[in-house]
């Protein structure tokens, strides 16, 4: 996790591309499908875009995108997790967007910070709590993204 002296974020960020070694590698690098909310409501199927996750927090995600998003854009998002049967739909709002200066992924030259507002219709802000066991802030968003991994670790401890 990178910490910068000018860090203004309220919650810790966790790398979304992590290899965790047990008897296998659990890859959390996730593909993102997103669409501006007004385009989704108009039924424009061709306005869906794909991106990749960079990092996540209890109420937000940084994504690498092929197109520049604008601060304030409202989005419908899906995270496609490896090994997870069902996708889940979220709504979020772009808080910042920038062109990457030192990017290796030429197909995804932009990054955007997206505040996740709802997951499956549940307001994320109503679900944030401090997990005493793991010493992290947790939410319905993190549970939706990382919950299967956490359940796996808990089962391995039994």
What is the tens place of the pLDDT at every residue in 70-101? 999 999 998 887 655 456 789 999 999 999 87
φ/ψ of 70, rounded to 5, equals -105, 140
The Cα-based distances of 78 to 33, 90, 156 in angstroms read 5, 6, 28
What is the 3-class SS of 40-86, one letter each residue?
HHCCCHHHCEEEEEEEECCCEEEEEECCCCCCCCEEEEEEECCCCCC
Q: To 5 degrees, how large is the angle CA 72–CA 77–CA 78?
A: 165
pTM: 0.73
Which pLDDT does position 51 carry in this prediction?
92
- What is the Cα–Cα distance from 32 to 79, expressed in whole angstroms? 5
- What is the Cα–Cα distance from 37 to 46, expressed in whole angstroms? 13
Sole residue written with tokens 């990457």: 100
- What is the Cα–Cα distance from 62 to 4, expressed in whole angstroms? 16
Fold that domain 14-157 belongs to in CATH: Thrombin, subunit H (2.40.10)
Name the DSSP letter for residue 11. S
- Tokens for 6, please give them: 């000018």
Which pLDDT does position 25 carry in this prediction?
28
Please compute the mean of the pLDDT values over residues 133-157 and round it to a whole number.
74
Please compute the mean of the pLDDT values over residues 95-116 and round it to a whole number.
88
């Amino acid at each position: 996790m990178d910490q910068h002296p000018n860090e203004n974020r309220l919650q810790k960020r966790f790398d979304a591309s992590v290899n965790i070694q047990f008897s296998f590698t659990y890859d959390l690098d996730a593909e993102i499908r997103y669409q501006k909310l007004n385009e989704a409501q108009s039924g424009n199927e061709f306005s869906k875009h794909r991106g990749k996750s960079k990092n996540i927090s209890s109420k937000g995600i940084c994504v690498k995108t092929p197109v520049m998003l604008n601060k304030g854009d409202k989005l419908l998002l899906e995270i496609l997790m490896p090994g997870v049967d069902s996708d889940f739909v979220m709504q979020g709002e772009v808080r910042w967007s920038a062109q990457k200066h030192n990017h290796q992924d030429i197909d995804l030259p932009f990054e955007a910070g997206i505040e996740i507002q709802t997951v499956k219709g549940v307001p994320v802000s109503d679900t944030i709590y401090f997990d005493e066991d793991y010493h992290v802030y947790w939410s319905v968003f993190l549970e939706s993204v990382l919950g299967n991994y956490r359940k796996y670790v808990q089962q391995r401890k039994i």
